[in-house]
C-alpha cells in the first residue's frame, strides 16, 4: 500500500473519520513500519493539544453585543426577574424553565454516572442489553466495536459492553487480556473497567492484561495517553505516557475492595492489615526490541508468545492459556528460572522441548495436564 494511502488513513483516524475497516488497514501498515511510531506519537499528541483561549476578548465582545441587541430592542432578561411582573408570562416561562432544568439534570446525571460505582455485576443486568465476547483458552479473537475501535482479545478473556455502547458512553469491562486501538471521541471517553483498575482513554493504542488468577494487572501504553485509576482509590489518577507500563498488585486492590464492601454492608470500619512496605504499583518503561522495534507485551496480537526475562512460573501461566493446557511445576528452583524467547508456530511439545534446552527438567503429559519435575 502506498505512502499516500497511509497518510490519508492516518489523518482520517486523527479526525475521527476512519471506518473500522480503514482502521484495521492502518493498524496493519503501522505494524509493518515501526519506524513511523515516533512521528505518529508526536502527531497524535499534537492533535490533542489546544492553546488557552483568551476569555477577556470574548467577554468584551459579549458586552458590545448586548449593547447592539438593546439598540435593536431585543433584550434577553435574567430569568425570572423582569418576567415576574407578568404572571402569565411568569407561569409559562417557569414551565419551560423546569423542562429545560429536567433536561439538564438528565444530562448531568449521564456525565456523573461513574462506571465504577454504577456497574453492577453482569448477572444482575438484563441479558439482552449486554454484549459479551469471550475467547476460550487456546484461541484469540479480534472485535470491532460500534464506534470503530478495535479490540484483540487474548486467550481465555471476556469483553462485555452494553447494547447502547457508543451512543451515550463508551464503557467496557475486561477480564483477561486485550489490546485496544481506540478511536478518538473527546465527548465520550472510552472507559475500561477490570477487577482492580479503571482506564480512561481518549484515543490511543495499548494493552491491558487483567486475568483474575494473575497476581498483577498490567497496562502497557504504545501510543497516546491514558488515565488509570485503581479501584476504590478514585482520587489517585495515574497518567501513563507512551512506552510506559503500569503494574498493579491485584491483592491490594482486592483487599481494599473487600473492606469497602464490608463497610458498605455493616457500617463498620474494616481495615485489613497490609504488610507495611509493599509495592502497590510501579511504572516501567516498555522495552523495544532493538532489531524490529516490537514490544513484547503486544506481540500476542501477531500470534507470538514473547517472553523477556520472565520467570518460568509466570510463563507457564501464559502457556496454559496459549495452549489450553494445565501446567504444574513441582520444583521451586525450576519455577524461578528466568527465560527469554518467542513461541510462534510451535506445538506445546516443541515449546517444552525448546525450554528443556535451557532448564534441566523432565515432563509428563497426561491428558491436558503437564507435570514438570527435576
Look at residues 202, 200, 201, 220 and name the one whose alpha carbon lies nearest to residue 210: 220
Pairing of strands 338-343, 305-311: antiparallel
Collapsed DSSP state (helix, strand, coil) of residue 130: strand
3-state helix, strand, coil in the chain (%, to 5): 40, 30, 35
Neighbour-count burial for 320-355, b at 16+ CB within 10 Å, e otherwise: bbbbebebebeeeebbebebebebeeeebeebbeeb
Check: CB of residue 161 under 8 Å from CB of residue 180.
no
Cβ closer to other proteins: 78 or 366? 78
Query: Can you say how many angstroms the Cα of residue 158 is from the centroid of all Cα atoms in its chain?
Result: 13
Q: Specify the residue, 93 or 175, whose C-beta has the smaller distance to other proteins.
A: 93
Distance, in Å, from the CA atom of 359 to the CA atom of 374, rounded to the nearest integer, reads 9
| Contact set with other proteins (CB under 8 A) | 3-4, 7-8, 10-12, 14-15, 17, 35-36, 38-43, 45-47, 49-51, 53-55, 57-59, 61-62, 64-65, 68-69, 72, 74, 76-79, 93, 96-97, 99-101, 103-104, 107, 186-187, 241
Amino acid at each position: 500500500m502506498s505512502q499516500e494511502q497511509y497518510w490519508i488513513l492516518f489523518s482520517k483516524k486523527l479526525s475521527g473519520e476512519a471506518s473500522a475497516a480503514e482502521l484495521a488497514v492502518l493498524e496493519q501498515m503501522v505494524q509493518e513500519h515501526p519506524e513511523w511510531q515516533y512521528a505518529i506519537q508526536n502527531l497524535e499528541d499534537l492533535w490533542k493539544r489546544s492553546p488557552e483561549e483568551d476569555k477577556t476578548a470574548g467577554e468584551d465582545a459579549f458586552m458590545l453585543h448586548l449593547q447592539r441587541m438593546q439598540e435593536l430592542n431585543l433584550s434577553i432578561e435574567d430569568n425570572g426577574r423582569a418576567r415576574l411582573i407578568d404572571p402569565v408570562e411568569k407561569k409559562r416561562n417557569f414551565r419551560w424553565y423546569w423542562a429545560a432544568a429536567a433536561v439538564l439534570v438528565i444530562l448531568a446525571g449521564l456525565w456523573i454516572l461513574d462506571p465504577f460505582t454504577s456497574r453492577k455485576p453482569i448477572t444482575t443486568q438484563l441479558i439482552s442489553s449486554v454484549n459479551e465476547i469471550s475467547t476460550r483458552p487456546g484461541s484469540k479473537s479480534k472485535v470491532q466495536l460500534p464506534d470503530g475501535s478495535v479490540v484483540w482479545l487474548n486467550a481465555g478473556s471476556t469483553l462485555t459492553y452494553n447494547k447502547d455502547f457508543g451512543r451515550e458512553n463508551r464503557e467496557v469491562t475486561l477480564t483477561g487480556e486485550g489490546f485496544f486501538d481506540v478511536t478518538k471521541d473527546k465527548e465520550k471517553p472510552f472507559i475500561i473497567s477490570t477487577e482492580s483498575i479503571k482506564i480512561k482513554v481518549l484515543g490511543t493504542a495499548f494493552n491491558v492484561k487483567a486475568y483474575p488468577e494473575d497476581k498483577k494487572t498490567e497496562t502497557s501504553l504504545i501510543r497516546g495517553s491514558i488515565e488509570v485509576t485503581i479501584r476504590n482509590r478514585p482520587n489517585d489518577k495515574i497518567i501513563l505516557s507512551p512506552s510506559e507500563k503500569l503494574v498493579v498488585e491485584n491483592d491490594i486492590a482486592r483487599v481494599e475492595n473487600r473492606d469497602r464492601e464490608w463497610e458498605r454492608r455493616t457500617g463498620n470500619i474494616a481495615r485489613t492489615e497490609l504488610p507495611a512496605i509493599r509495592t502497590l504499583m510501579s511504572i516501567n518503561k516498555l522495552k523495544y526490541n532493538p532489531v524490529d522495534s516490537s514490544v513484547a507485551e503486544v506481540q500476542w496480537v501477531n500470534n507470538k508468545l514473547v517472553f523477556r526475562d520472565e520467570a518460568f512460573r509466570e510463563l507457564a501461566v501464559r502457556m496454559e492459556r496459549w495452549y489450553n493446557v494445565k501446567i504444574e511445576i513441582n520444583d521451586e528452583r525450576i519455577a524461578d528460572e528466568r527465560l527469554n524467547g518467542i513461541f510462534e508456530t510451535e506445538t506445546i511439545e516443541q515449546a517444552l522441548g525448546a525450554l528443556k534446552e535451557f532448564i534441566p527438567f523432565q515432563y509428563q503429559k497426561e491428558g491436558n495436564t503437564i507435570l514438570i519435575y527435576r
